[in-house]
Structure 1
């Protein structure tokens, strides 16, 4: 068996946030138990960067630029919005020439007309945007975290996490295929569900929920993240007696360096 690490596939995910009276909620979904990766886990919407995302880069009329400089490249940002639309129906886009996000009623019409076909590969995201005169709101994405799956695991991802305030009145709904449930809940509620066994939380999801939960509101979370330099985290797998562990850089901001790993 080869000892070479498998290649980490580029991927993106968005933590969609909305305020509530006692803090804020984040949109999460339960992955189908038959899905190969993170089956049955509570996760944020997201997935792999694909060729169609890279094609959109050559069509600047379809997006308003987001993070520039040393952060995630445009294909990661485009994939984040496409995957979120595929997995939740929430669309971070504006009508061409407008500074307002697409109305919830219009987003619902576009979702009903195109979401299934997009997921089945019968239409491209670029075609949906062009046909409906839409511009991706990449400028709403705030880079939040960058995690790469440990080298010893067979299925690996190089994932950028973004924060974004959810469009007003776009509620979001799982697709019933890759995910079987969806829920808006506070970071604290998600973590409590993980501790009680109600939810299965992957390690990166847990650590990012803990960090996110320190902020009192959506505005505070976005402002804090805009002021931070994102450090790449690739956990190193190890052992402490009979316990498996993951080691991450202490300076990455996750309240520790060595954590017990239960396989998620």
Structure 2
């Protein structure tokens, strides 16, 4: 599997999704209550191939079997997230709660609409799939951010923004309750090159090209330098 490095699904590859020119994937944000607070499972991809050396959540494409018995796109993506988590990390997840949906820019060569789901771990030992995953670790969002800011690990925007949201939660119960209480947001990413670097933008930002927000409105991730800065107001 290979794809350009862009703000797209954590694990691109696969079959056609519901929509012209875009495919479907599912990602599981697996959580547990750790000694230092909420932790999530992150997997490091190999040095070659898709998202080389990046730390990602388990997940991947929707296969034909994932559509069996699924009533809609979200259910198919949920099935893929469950299956891929088992295949990549060797652990079970169930009762997944929809968290977000990510859509890459139209110019992305291989596009995946990826549903993110929160899931609680069930005490299984993690066994990374050799050749597909080089390393696995349970991290607090703060630890992941600190390592990213120091250049010690690589993240892509969907993973970074998801970790940013998890900073607000102290426990798995709290994170699941908040995710299950509202509508599932869709992040249709647009990229903007600036003289100092790149930024990702989403609906509501004043510079968002499709439906700009009000003057001064912000919904962007500034990636000019480390640490990245998320602005939303």
TMscore range, shorter length: 0.7 to 0.9
1:199-210 mapped onto 2 (5 Å cutoff): 199-210=153-164
Q: Find 2:185's aligned residue among 220, 231, 236.
A: 231
Provide the rounded CA distance (Å) in 2 between the counterparts of 1:256 and 1:176: 41
**Residue in structure 1 matched with residue 48 of structure 2 by the alignment:** 34
Provide the rounded CA distance (Å) in 2 between the counterparts of 1:188 and 1:220: 17
Indicate whether 1:194 and 2:156 are aligned.
no
Q: What secondary structure sits across from 1:179 in the alignment? A: coil
Provide the rounded CA distance (Å) in 2 between the counterparts of 1:240 and 1:258: 13
Provide the rounded CA distance (Å) in 2 between the counterparts of 1:209 and 1:180: 21
Q: What secondary structure sits across from 2:145 in the alignment? A: helix
Answer with 1 or 2: which has the greater Rg: 1
Indicate whether 1:150 and 2:150 are aligned.
no
Structure 1 alignment gaps of length 5 or more? 1-5, 59-67, 93-136
Change (3 A) 1:173 1:154: same
Cα deviation, 1:84-113, whole Å, max 9, x if unaligned, reads 001001123xxxxxxxxxxxxxxxxxxxxx
Structure 2 alignment gaps of length 5 or more? 1-19, 206-216, 225-233
Change (3 A) 1:181 1:165: same
Provide the rounded CA distance (Å) in 2 between the counterparts of 1:23 and 1:30: 22
Q: Find 1:18's aligned residue among 7, 16, 32.
A: 32
**Residue in structure 2 matched with residue 165 of structure 1 by the alignment:** 120
Provide the rounded CA distance (Å) in 1 between the counterparts of 2:29 and 2:221: 23
**Residue in structure 1 matched with residue 227 of structure 2 by the alignment:** none
Instruction: Provide the alpha-carbon RMSD of the alignment.
Output: 2.4
Change (3 A) 1:213 1:250: farther
Q: What secondary structure sits across from 2:134 in the alignment? A: strand
The answer to whether the 8 Å contact 2:26/2:62 transfers is yes
**Shift of residue 28, structure 1, vs aligned partner:** 0.7
**Shift of residue 30, structure 1, vs aligned partner:** 0.2
Change (3 A) 1:74 1:184: same
**Shift of residue 228, structure 1, vs aligned partner:** 1.7
Provide the rounded CA distance (Å) in 2 between the counterparts of 1:165 and 1:241: 42
Provide the rounded CA distance (Å) in 2 between the counterparts of 1:157 and 1:256: 25
**Residue in structure 2 matched with residue 260 of structure 1 by the alignment:** 222
Indicate whether 1:8 and 2:22 are aligned.
yes
Change (3 A) 1:236 1:24: same
**Residue in structure 1 matched with residue 65 of structure 2 by the alignment:** 52
Provide the rounded CA distance (Å) in 2 between the counterparts of 1:43 and 1:146: 16
Q: How many residue pairs end up in the alignment? A: 196
